[in-house]
Amino acid sequence: MQKKTLAIIGAGVWGTALANLAAGNGHRVRVWSRRCSETLEDVVAGAEIVLSAVSMRGVGAVISQVQSLPVSSNTIFVTVTKGLDPQTTRTPSQMWQAAFPVAPVVVLAGPNLSKEIEQGLPAATVVASKDLAAAATVQAVFSSSSFRVYTNSDPLGVELGGTLKNVMAIAAGVCDGLDLGTNAKAALLTRGLAEIIRIGTNWGAQTETFYGLSGLGDLLATCNSALSRNYQVGYQLAKGQTLQAILAQLEGTAEGVSTTPVLIQRADQQGIYVPISYLVNRLLQGEITPQSAVEALMLRDVKPESKPLAD
């Protein structure tokens, strides 16, 4: 394909890994962070693809900055942030689309532990957009012999899969930190996926998306790896550490910590039953112990499984 010019906003491990993938394919890549000597305007100028790899708390500010710049109407915006805006409960792609209503917005998400990507280990991801041509362009930019990229037409589902599994990863870390065993972990992840589907379809995503790479795939990767920051939060909480101490030691942001209360807020508003997320939220707020959270899950009323969306 014709070589593209990319502006990657955010120089963390994931933004850097994606920059290296695109550069390895011969594309022109410029990376910007708050510590960068170049201005954001210089980095974005002439970029055909602008990729946002900032944490959720920085998304709004970055969008405002980019809005003030002379960006081409043909620019493709890509977001890899996983979270929910606490003010509006919007996803990052919804925020970018609201700011640039006629521009194509693409979501990139999947079972992608950035340290493994940097090591060149094989992985796969999904790029999703209502604009399939834009998704195909992004697919070509990042595809390599070790990084397989699929397209999808359900950006909300792809984004929510990557966002909501962070909440489940905290629960999975607790499960392992308490040494509850493989049976308990399997039950947790199965019911966690059902909860993610219940939330996602209520918000308008497609059920089948959550059985793909950005749903089930990301859930399995994040809930089974010590490389996951969200998993580490749950694991260390189960070992008796305080949330404040855990977050101070983490390399990067555990987005599930800030996602969980926003998810609960919206679930309460819309009457969505989210027992696992609810207990993770209480745990993060210091209202219950990890042991009490497990007991509360196990003592819920018995019911038939019947279908994936059953409570």
User: Catalytic site residues?
Assistant: 165
Distance between CA atoms of residues 274 and 267, nearest Å: 7
Distance between CA atoms of residues 281 and 267, nearest Å: 12
Question: Other CB atoms closer than 10 Å to residue 42's CB: what's the count?
Answer: 14
Distance between CA atoms of residues 86 and 90, nearest Å: 8
Question: 28 CB contacts (<8 Å, ≥6 apart)?
Answer: 3, 4, 5, 6
Residue 66 Cα distances to 16, 82, 111, angstroms: 20, 19, 28
DSSP state of 55: -
| Among 191, 294, 163, 285, residue whose Cα is nearest residue 238 | 294
Distance between CA atoms of residues 129 and 24, nearest Å: 24
Distance between CA atoms of residues 288 and 181, nearest Å: 21
